Structure 1
Amino acid sequence: MRLTPRRDSADPTHRQPHLRRLGALAVALVTVLAGGAMTDRGTVDAQAATGPTGGDHSGHAYVLSPEQEAAALALQLAPVRGSEFRADCSSKGRSPDDPIVRWGQAGTSHVHEFFGNRTTDAYSTLTSLASGTTTCNPSVDLSAYWVPTLYQNGVPKAPEHVTVYYQGITDRLNVKPHPRGLKMVVGNPLATSADQNPAARWSCRGYPEASRDFMSCPAGSRLETYLDFPTCWDGKNLDSADHKSHMAFGIGGAGGYCPSSHPVPVPRLELLITYPVTGGGLSLAGTRNGANVTSAPGYTFHGDFFNAWNAAELQRRVTNCIVAGYICGNDGNPIQQ
């Protein structure tokens, strides 16, 4: 008999995911209704954002097409019912590097918080990551993950905990593992308003509200953010010039399909990052008016993923957890209750 516990059984650090989804629903509905976005099978390409260039982080700038924005929002609301595995990670430190957008250019990016592979720097390659170790459990996940550093009153705040979920959302029965060496980014760090970055979501642990900008969490709570990556791959490219065009969001929410331009469904990679932070005075590392700063608003949140999983272990988890419909623990085995 298959037993798939609710996430609050599998994840004691986060006991009210349904409240978070309700909060996200409110944000999503307002955005979609305001923009009149509708999904369409034929239109999936996102468009490069206009904004400051030069020595900035413009490689991350990305405004989704209306169809892809609607798809991304629908996937944010997708419930997970017995089809996921996870890695639990801690920060390995921060640096002004970005091995995807500014590869080989040490110290030229805004400051990022890195977790996962301990060797990650501006010169990281699949070969270097494969030779490294990780801050994640399981140790077979040698991937590199990074997001902009959070600041409170000018002081950097490392995450208290990072959970990386791999979930069966789009075309679950046909999901393939992320190919080794895949790079992808999500979010718009050059957003000038909350409506320009549907990837950004902030909430307070134990409260249903969610926002694209920072929330001031009360004492006894914690600041949290969720970041969802695309679920469809073009089946050819491990990267693209803008680091995004080789990926797309699946159409139709939970149980939906991949567009013909990106026919390969992959697990939804979702980062749940918890910070030991309450109250205000919050900002992000980012790029504003062409300069790297530590004062960017919450709606500029974004993230990067460089896949260096052990290929056999990733395949095992996709087959035994996602396709088979189980919630699995860090060891890639089903959690029983």
Structure 2
Amino acid sequence: MNPLLRRVLAGTAAVLVLATAGWATGRDGTGQHHDRQGHQAHAYTFSRTQAAAIAAQAAAPVRGSEFRAECFSSHRRGDDPIVFPGQAGRSHIHEFYGNRTADASSTLDSLAAGTTNCTPQVDLSSYWTPTLYQNGAPVAPERVTVYYQGITDHTRAVAHPRGLRYVVGNALATSPDQNPAARWSCVGRPESSRDFITCPPGTKLENYLDFPTCWDGRNLDSANHRDHMAYAVGQSCPASHPVVVPRLELLITWPVNGGGLTLAGTRNGANVTNAPGYTFHGDFFNAWNQAELERRVRDCVVAGYICGTDGRPIQQ
């Protein structure tokens, strides 16, 4: 499908989500976080302000300001180098995209020395999400498109710093309204849901996962792997997170339709493979060639062009 048409359908789907979903609650305008150990590090409660900002951002029209990478699943393992660094097998099962070397012990140096299945090859980043299962069998995505988009004040956007890493979504959500960052849909259809959607024959399951666009300008990580990032409210980043970065959006497509869908996840402190669809989440560990990333942000996002995987304008 034409990428622009797909984005239009995604925007329509997001509007439907806004019309039907509730908001996650919080006491103020910043995401609430309590110190947790072990698997509880995957939990996060979005404030009402941030939940509304995420949903509004998902419904925002395409601004003609983006570049992308096309990636595939590289491997599957129970590792999470952000949440459980150095603890191989501690995490629930993740599907890793891009850098072929990613594991529990990954660092910026190890990723930079690795190889990738992404196009372009200068993107050595690692992206990962929970593995999808259908009727108990793991299913690898057919493709993963990583969009870098000028959704927030694109003329001020700067490249993500090398080594930046963060987590989005809510792996321990207990209802769909607790995870506004992810939405499920079917290729070519406008309907979407925060929980699994049953795609009819002839379509394929897909998920859009939206990352924040505001960085605090100092930290490459934080204790809960989130607090150094924030979602913009409208076109404004909060004063605590003044640096605008392109929005990452993962568009993941699986070669499945129908029911019997579950996710790898954590329930009651144990790793499982039957977590619900509204627990979808994702991680990003930036290992781009920095000069190339900066060029693409400047020539595509800031300049207001839609660029291909080569970082050259294909549409204004």
TM-score, normalization by structure 1: 0.90
Once the two structures are TM-superposed, the CA of residue 107 in structure 1 deviates from its matched residue by 0.3
Determine if the alignment matches structure 1 residue 309 to structure 2 residue 254.
no
Deviations 1:65-90 (A, max 9, x none): 11111111111111223100000000
SS at the partner of 1:132?
Answer: coil
In structure 1, list runs of 5 or more residues that go unmatched.
1-7
What residue is the counterpart of 2:257 in the other structure? 278
Partner of 1:18: 8
Rounded Cα–Cα distance in structure 1 between residues aligned with 2:315 and 2:89: 46
- What corresponds to 1:139 in structure 2? 121
Q: 1:237 to 1:171 in 2, by over 3 A?
A: same
Give me the identity figure in percent.
66
| C-alpha distance in structure 1 between counterparts of 2:254 and 2:25, whole Å | 33
1:205 to 2:175 alignment: no
2:177 corresponds to: 195
Match of 2:150 in 1: 168
Alignment RMSD: 1.9
Say which is worse superposed, 15-24 or 107-116, in terms of deviation: 15-24
How far did residue 196 of structure 1 move? 0.8
Tell me, what secondary structure is at the counterpart of 2:314? coil
Match of 1:319 in 2: 298
Which of the numbers 18, 27, 30 marks the counterpart of 1:45?
Answer: 30
1:129-278 alignment runs, 5 A limit: 129-252=111-234, 256-278=235-257
Aligned-pair CA distance for 1:200: 2.2
In 1, Cα distance between equivalents of 2:151 and 2:37:
38
**Cα contact 2:25–2:46 (8 A) shared by 1:** no
**Deviations 1:285-334, CA, capped at 9 Å, x for gaps:** 00001100000000000000000000000000000001101000111011
Q: Distance in 2 between matches of 1:212 and 1:69?
A: 13
Query: Which AA in structure 2 matches 1:30?
Result: T
Decide which of 52, 64, 89 is 1:82's aligned counterpart: 64
Alignment deviations for residues 200-257 of structure 1 (CA, whole Å, 9 cap, x no partner) = 20001111110001111111100000000000000000000000000000111xxx01
Distance 1:86 1:249, change over 3 A: same
Q: Distance in 2 between the 1:44 and 1:245 partners?
A: 12
Look up the match of 1:5: none
Matches within 5 A, 1:97-112: 97-112=79-94
In 2, Cα distance between equivalents of 1:225 and 1:70: 19
Q: Check whether the contact 2:296–2:311 (CA below 8 A) recurs between aligned residues.
A: yes
Contact 2:23 2:177 in 1 (8 A): no
Cα separation, 1, equivalents of 2:211 and 2:239: 18
Q: Aligned pair in 2 of structure 1 residues 35, 335: CA closer, same or farther (>3 Å)?
A: closer
- Which of structure 1's runs of 4+ aligned residues deviate more than 4 A? 34-38
Shift of 1:192: 0.6
Opposite residue 12 of structure 2, the aligned amino acid is: L
* 1:6-50 deviation per Cα after TM superposition (whole angstroms, max 9, x unaligned): xx64x3xx844322221211212333xx54989xxxx54201279
Change (3 A) 1:321 1:102: same
| One-letter amino acid of the counterpart of residue 17, structure 1 | R
How far residue 114 of structure 1 moved from its aligned partner, in angstroms, is: 0.1
| Counterpart amino acid of residue 249 in structure 2 | E
Q: Give the secondary-structure state (helix, strand or coil) at the position aligned to 1:201.
A: strand
1:184 and 1:306 in contact (8 A); partners too: yes
SS in 1 for 2:307: coil
Other structure's SS at 1:236 match: coil
Q: Provide the residue aligned with 1:4 in structure 2.
A: none
Q: Assess if the C-alpha contact under 8 Å between 2:129 and 2:280 holds in 1.
A: yes
* 1:335 counterpart letter in structure 2: I
Aligned counterparts of 2:174 and 2:37: Cα–Cα separation in 1: 18
Paired residue for 1:91? 73
Q: State the match for 2:106 in structure 1.
A: 124
* Structure 1 SS opposite 2:116: coil
Counterpart secondary structure, 1:335: strand
Compute the TM-score of the two structures, normalised by the length of structure 2. Answer: 0.96
What CA distance in whole angstroms lies between the structure 2 residues aligned with 1:82 and 1:198? 24
